[in-house]
Amino acid sequence: MPATTSQAVSELLAKWRDGDEESLQRLLPLVYNELRRLAHNYLRKERPDHTLQSTALVHEAYLCLMKQPPKDFENRAHFFAVCCQLMRQILVQYARRRNAAKRDGGYKLTLDESIAPARSRSQEPKPGAEA
């Protein structure tokens, strides 16, 4: 990233920290390509049939960043480090949700004794036998 762009990123981060909400929106076009490259590198390490794409991962990280109060970023490298951490957290959450859905599929089965077929004599427990 050229020095002028790096300086602009630092200035926008400082403005955002000071309360300028629009500075984060002006910052995104300056850092978008770098964030997509970082997201792409993270997704390369995931399973091949991953449904999340690098663009979506960047957008999710941006939304997480907007929900948080402005941070005191030391420089643009610190900003990228925080964004990378957010992307990793998003991937972990995504994997946890996927694994949870895989375990039970969202379905809960409850058994009702009243609709169970009647036991035949051979299925009834013998007197004195524990159930």
Question: Of the candidates 72, 78, 81, which has an alpha carbon nearest to the alpha carbon of residue 17?
Answer: 72
In the chain, the amino acid numbered 100 is A
Domains delineated in the chain: 3-107 (1.10.1740)
Q: What is the pTM of this model?
A: 0.67
DSSP H helices, 18-75, are 22-44, 54-67
Residue range 59-97, pLDDT digits in tens: 899 888 888 877 788 888 888 999 999 999 998 888 888
Residue ranges of the chain whose pLDDT lies below 70: 1-4, 101-109, 116, 118-131
